Structure 1
Amino acid sequence: MASMMGVLAFCQSLLHTVFPPELRLASHKFFQRCLNWFSSYCYYDITEIDGVNTNELYNAVRLYLSSSASIAGTRVSLTRGLNSSTITFGVSNNDSLVDTYNGATVEWEHVVTQRQSQTFSWRPLPEEKRGFTLRVKKKNRQVVLGSYFDFVMEKANEIRRKNQDRLLYTNSRGGSSDSGSHPWQSVPFKHPSTFDTLAMDPVKKSEIMADLLDFANGESFYQRTGRAWKRGYLLYGPPGTGKSSMIAAMANYLGYDIYDLELTEVKTNSELRKLLMKTSSKSIIVIEDIDCSINLTNRKKNSNSGGRKNNHDAASPAPLGANEEDDGSTITLSGLLNFTDGLWSCCGSERIFVFTTNHIEKLDPALLRSGRMDMHINMSYCSFPAFKILLKNYLGYEETNLVLEELEGVIDEAEMTPADISEVLIKNRRDKSKAVQELLEAMKIRAEKTREKKWLESKRNEIEDEKQVQEKRALDIPQEGFDQLEDSCKKDDEKIF
């Protein structure tokens, strides 16, 4: 054995002497190329550090492999972050996972090696050298290079956006962009409202969700049609019908940030444009109770309301842009229209504008047209399908657990908002039967009041119509008879109202 070891050592030294390092390296490369030539696979290396910079593709692959449901492996690395409720998995060190894309099977291997002792560097490198090696068949090379890496990057961005904390922004005069500070102030957005918990007709809810999803996935459509990648939603209806909850559900569904724009804090149209420029993509810009922020009343209705000028009583609308405090704000209707559908509204992409109002008839038609407010959503009183969602959310009742025929027959006439019903359910959530019974009694009382209110309104309209008819005939009626008719109308008003 000793003699054989000596012979091998002598042969090795002889080879090193006869064959220089350059020749040995060339021979190794030649044999490696031969092996690659006859192999049916090709390999792509993605290192964590590209020179001195972080490789974004490595981070995207790591994030994609940690969340992709299409990947199967026998050995994975499980992690759970601090204050996190979800467990993520990834590729273990020096292990591999298999993925499938458009019929092509690829294999990812996470290669981790110890880095050799490094010389002085202005940026310290990690002790471990990490990277991914992608093995794919040569016949699928075009699929991988053509669209697979783009798919991985897109999925990673989507996962990153869903995992990151969403923010709720608000504007203030103290943060004016002229002073160099950011005009928006933010807090974490933690609203629990979702479309599953939203008390709304399921058919209408599905239409809204489909429209939102089409918008979020419609980048190529908007580019092809030459339209700005934005969409407007108008939420209108009585107070307490869930307009704010709808906005929160939209943000949670798409994973967008919310910019709550307070118009009373904006002085000029120029400042309004600067606020728009400071908003990010994938966001929802909200103006709640827009009819109360500044005067955006219907110009046609105002012009036809009467021919008298110089009448500045309390019922007359204030000048456009003047708010209740008269603090010098000069926002105009034109400035707000350009904010939502002008050239400045295109300084970004994937934005949603949401306006809410309790009185849609007060808003100017120019603000409501398609292109500004593309979808009008009537947040009306609670319907029976929405009521069943509230019962399930607050009391845990399913449709088969309770006889709902009596409630179904009275809920439409009661005209109760989801907020009114929720208050009754919250107050009696420990006693389900009591909650339902009290809610039924409350609905019957409200339904009776609603019927009386409608009857009184109909009688008032009849009296008003009769007055108008008699006024037209006033020239043909003697003064004594006209006075008797007026006294009779007054007595009817006192009797009814």
Structure 2
Amino acid sequence: MKEVWTTMASMMGVWAFCQSLLHTVFPPELRYGVLKVFHRLFTYFSAYCYYDITEIDGVNTNELYNAVQLYLSSSASSSSGTRLTLTRALNSSSITFGLSNNDRLLDCFAGAAVEWQHVVTQRQAQTFSWRPLPEEKRGFTLRVRKKHKHLVLNSYLDYIMEKATELRRKNQDRLLYTNSRGGSLDSRGHPWESVPFKHPSTFETLAMDPVKKKEIMEDLEDFANGESFYRKTGRAWKRGYLLYGPPGTGKSSMIAAMANFLKYDIYDLELTEVNTNTELRKLLMKTSSKSIIVIEDIDCSINLANRSRTSGNGGGSRSPRRSRGESTAATATAAEEGVNTITLSGLLNFTDGLWSCCGSERIFVFTTNHIEKLDPALLRSGRMDMHIHMSYCSCPALKILLRNYLGVEADSDLSAAAMGELEAAIAAVEMTPADISEVLIKNRRDRRRAVAELLEALKLKAERKSAEQIGEDEEQEKRALEEGFDQLQGNRGEDDDEDDKMH
């Protein structure tokens, strides 16, 4: 060991002598050229190439740096590193892992091994700048073998951007937007006001037939993963859903489940707050991609202008045609007075016109309690592609409600007799999931009492329905007897007239 240390000391002395001789004999310009030549030789013979991704490009933030930081957080969380940075962004419900200063992380893409290093150095004294720069200079250095260079530049970086967008949407809380009255702008210059969307409804808790539920989920997945299909077929990347059925059947819960399933924001469009087709189009332009645009109770939200221009006592004649200038002036006057002048044509263009294609990956959802009141032009494919009937509570939906509110598995925790009574009672009445949920919520702490009161409520509903049916039958019989009596009296009167004539 003593000989080794002696040899190392001698080599270090020789290196120091050569370095001092180099500084004495060669001028600085020549030394710089020699070092540059050595660096080029090292780069030429090296098997790796390096790429620097700085946090700030000039005075602008480098979007690729943020994407790499977010992408590496998913790998850093599962790495064996002993020192990681933890952050939590605004409007985010999850904690993000990251590399510490000057730490390294290995990654693999398509069989190619790459190495990331988070380089942090102190920035030199700044000159005057309109935008002050941070004291630390941050960036990532990517090291990859030269034979994988084209793979990284052509595919790997694009993959990182897509993955970062997906992670950002997954980690960020959903937002629920609503439009301001008259298209007024908020403090950020947008016509939409937002609040965090915290609705807990999911397809797992949604009281609905499982077969129908699975069909809807598969359709949503096909839409979310169908960018290449829509581009190949020349169709706009959007889809429309119509939810119809009686009140209390879960239409709003279905919308919330769709948003939580796809991780989309919701834009709740209140048509009564929109005055003209122009305002409606501007609202559409301010919506983001990967969102659900909802218009609830479309049958009673507005009175479409070009469907209500009737005059006269007969109600069938339309108002006389006006010139373009008169129509525009009338629309402007109506807008100034706060009168809604949205037309059916404007609504159709909103859902299926050229302006509906200004974004991508958007879903339009309409709800109604009376589908027969909607104009057929709204119901065709391309505007409402999938019609979903939200029906009264069925046996499969009842089992889901029992599991949600009581923690009861109908097939194992309830006896066959009790479950048979419930199934027979639910099939005999028309009761909405909201009504059944109310009964279960009141008695959720006592399972037996909840099941008993639910069965009693179902039987009471069946008795009322039977009584109403009997009353309707009696009323029909009475009406039929009255009509028969009137007809008989009329026939007798005709016979008497004929007898008088003969006499």
1:333 aligns with 2:344: yes
1:148 aligns with 2:151: no
Q: Is the 8 Å Cα contact of residues 413 and 451 (structure 1) preserved in structure 2?
A: no
| Counterpart Cα distance in 2 of 1:91 and 1:461 | 79
| Counterpart Cα distance in 2 of 1:446 and 1:5 | 98
Q: Sequence identity, in percent?
A: 73
Q: Give, in angstroms, the shift of residue 379 of structure 1.
A: 0.8
| Counterpart Cα distance in 1 of 2:37 and 2:191 | 63
The counterpart of 2:313, out of the listed 310, 313, 323, is 310
1:437 corresponds to which residue?
Answer: 452
| Counterpart Cα distance in 2 of 1:384 and 1:333 | 39
Give the alignment's TM-score, normalised by structure 2: 0.80
2:380 corresponds to which residue?
Answer: 369
1:401 corresponds to which residue?
Answer: 413
| Counterpart Cα distance in 1 of 2:59 and 2:396 | 59
| Counterpart Cα distance in 2 of 1:344 and 1:479 | 64
| Counterpart Cα distance in 1 of 2:493 and 2:384 | 50
Q: Is the 8 Å Cα contact of residues 175 and 181 (structure 1) preserved in structure 2?
A: no
Mapping for residues 402-421 of structure 1, pairs under 5 Å: 402-403=414-415, 404-421=419-436
Give the alignment's TM-score, normalised by structure 1: 0.81
- What amino acid maps onto 2:39 in structure 1? Q
1:57 corresponds to which residue?
Answer: 64
2:321 corresponds to which residue?
Answer: none
Structure 1 residues 464 and 209: CA distance shift in structure 2, 3 A: farther
Structure 1 residues 20 and 460: CA distance shift in structure 2, 3 A: farther
Mapping for residues 19-418 of structure 1, pairs under 5 Å: 19-68=26-75, 72-81=79-88, 86-176=94-184, 182-295=190-303, 310-311=313-314, 328-399=339-410, 400-403=412-415, 404-418=419-433
For each residue in 1:218-260, what CA deviation from the matched residue of structure 2 results, as whole angstroms up to 9, or x when unmatched?
2222222111121111000110011111111222222222222
Q: Give, in angstroms, the shift of residue 146 of structure 1.
A: 1.1
- What amino acid maps onto 2:273 in structure 1? E
| Counterpart Cα distance in 1 of 2:166 and 2:216 | 21
2:498 corresponds to which residue?
Answer: none
The counterpart of 2:461, out of the listed 446, 455, 459, is 446
- What amino acid maps onto 1:415 in structure 2? E
Q: Is the 8 Å Cα contact of residues 240 and 418 (structure 1) preserved in structure 2?
A: yes
Q: Which runs of 5 or more residues in structure 1 are unaligned?
A: 303-308, 314-320, 484-497
| Counterpart Cα distance in 2 of 1:456 and 1:69 | 71
The range that moved more, 328-337 or 365-374, is 328-337
Q: Give, in angstroms, the shift of residue 86 of structure 1.
A: 3.1
Q: Is the 8 Å Cα contact of residues 304 and 342 (structure 2) preserved in structure 1?
A: no
Structure 1 residues 89 and 206: CA distance shift in structure 2, 3 A: same
Over aligned residue pairs, what C-alpha RMSD do you find? 3.8
| Counterpart Cα distance in 1 of 2:109 and 2:120 | 25
Structure 1 residues 421 and 5: CA distance shift in structure 2, 3 A: closer
| Counterpart Cα distance in 1 of 2:184 and 2:87 | 40
| Counterpart Cα distance in 1 of 2:106 and 2:41 | 26
Q: Give, in angstroms, the shift of residue 419 of structure 1.
A: 0.6
The range that moved more, 56-65 or 343-352, is 343-352
2:322 corresponds to which residue?
Answer: none
Q: Which runs of 5 or more residues in structure 2 are unaligned?
A: 1-5, 317-330, 495-503
Q: Is the 8 Å Cα contact of residues 237 and 379 (structure 1) preserved in structure 2?
A: yes
| Counterpart Cα distance in 2 of 1:142 and 1:250 | 39
Q: Give, in angstroms, the shift of residue 54 of structure 1.
A: 1.8
The counterpart of 2:439, out of the listed 424, 428, 436, is 424
| Counterpart Cα distance in 1 of 2:165 and 2:31 | 45
Mapping for residues 465-484 of structure 1, pairs under 5 Å: 479-480=490-491
| Counterpart Cα distance in 1 of 2:55 and 2:15 | 41
Tell me the SS of whatever aligns to 1:32.
helix
1:318 corresponds to which residue?
Answer: none
Q: Is the 8 Å Cα contact of residues 76 and 84 (structure 2) preserved in structure 1?
A: no
